[in-house]
Amino acid sequence: MRLFILGAAFATLLSSSAFAQAPDKILNSSYDIARELFAKVNEAYVSANPGKTIDQSHAGSSKQARAILEGLDADVVTYNQVTDVNALVKGGAVSEDWQSEFANNASPYYSLPAFLVREGNPKNIKDWGDLVRDDVKVVFPNPKTSGNARYTYLAATAYAKEKFNNDPEQVKEFVGKLFDNVPVFDTGGRAATTTFVERQIGDVLITFEAETRGIAKEFGEDKYDVVVPAMSILAEFPVAIVDRVVDKRGSREFAKSYLDFLYSEEGQRIIAEHGNRVNNEAVAAEFESQFPEVRLVRVEDVFGGWDKIQEEHFASGALLDEIYGQR
């Protein structure tokens, strides 16, 4: 009897994941801290499109891209790294022109590296320049392992490039000083948060603006202040249809309508409620007070694109290794 039940359970699970795939169900492969956001988005989408189901997979987005290349049948991806979608392009799962398939470079929302400081901002940290002061301890994860921290590295570098007129030596010195002020390099964003919040290390935590609000909400809004610097780097949250999968399953239309929903006013409002900045003007106006003005520079404009960044900054032995190795 038990064997029978087991067998039945086994068969049900098998069929739900491999066979009997009705096109009224798609899988969204997403990054690790977007669980709540997409739970809300999906709820709204399903109530507007009864009978549809969106399954969610969440993990670090590089790992997620790898899983798709290895056969995970995700119909759409919603990531926090353009490079991870590009990995899917290189693997032949996503078409090369994915960024033109949806508005704003296929990025329905965006964020930026911002600062979370302790209540009342006792060290008076306002901008990137303050982070290299001798009396300031900074916390962010290791850029070698964390996509989040790569944006921090790029934002600090972009700031230094402007300040020192692109003088490579001075830029390197600035970023080096910033790294010197980091007492611990954790491997991921969540661990860095623990270092800052629970171990009480550091004066400022650098992470996506969207997340600074989440952290303040979870650990006490009266204990932390969010500081948005005058300039930062635009962090896109790219979405794409996984052609390999939707062509096989016949779910392209569904996938497209789901991603389109992220751009709709309703979708944008939910996204903004979770601390992300959106392009929809009406919604952006609604949430104006939540998002201080900031001048954002683009990765493409400052660094000439992700491939170039990889080669010049993040590859083994490149600039990041040089700076990191000096410590």
Q: Please say which residue, 56 or 257, places its beta carbon nearer to another protein.
A: 56
Q: Which is nearer to another protein, 150 or 313 (CB)?
A: 150
Provide the residue type at 98 as one letter: W
Binders of another protein in range 195-254 (CB under 8 A): 214-215, 217-218
Buried b (16+ CB within 10 A) or exposed e, 144-181: ebbbbbbbbbbbbbbbbbeeeeeeeeebbebbebbbeb
In terms of CB distance, is 5 or 285 closer to another protein? Answer: 5
Q: Is 16 in the site for another protein (CB under 8 A)?
A: yes
Given the rule CB under 8 A, which of 8-16, 117-125, 227-235, 290-298 is the region that contacts another protein? 8-16
Q: Site map for another protein, 77-116, x if CB under 8 A?
A: --------------x-------------------------
Token pair of 183, please? 């007492």
Q: How far apart are CA 124 and CA 148, in angstroms?
A: 24
Helices first, then strands: H and E counts in the chain: 16, 13
Cβ closest to another protein, residue 148 vs residue 157: 148
Distance CA 47, CA 42 (A): 8
Q: What does R_g of the chain's alpha carbons equal in angstroms?
A: 21
**C-beta separation of 306 from 136 below 8 A:** no
Which range touches another protein (CB under 8 A), out of 2-10, 140-148, 151-159, 286-294? 2-10
With CB under 8 A as the contact rule, the residue among 23, 32, 173, 287 that binds another protein is: 32
Distance CA 196, CA 218 (A): 13
Does 67 bind another protein (CB under 8 A)? Our answer is yes
Amino acid at 263: Y
Tell which positions 164-193 bind another protein, by CB under 8 A.
190
Which is nearest to 82 in space by CA: 276, 235, 301? 235
Binding site for another protein (CB under 8 A): 2, 6, 9-10, 13-14, 16-19, 27, 32-33, 35-36, 55-59, 64, 66-67, 69-73, 91, 190, 214-215, 217-218
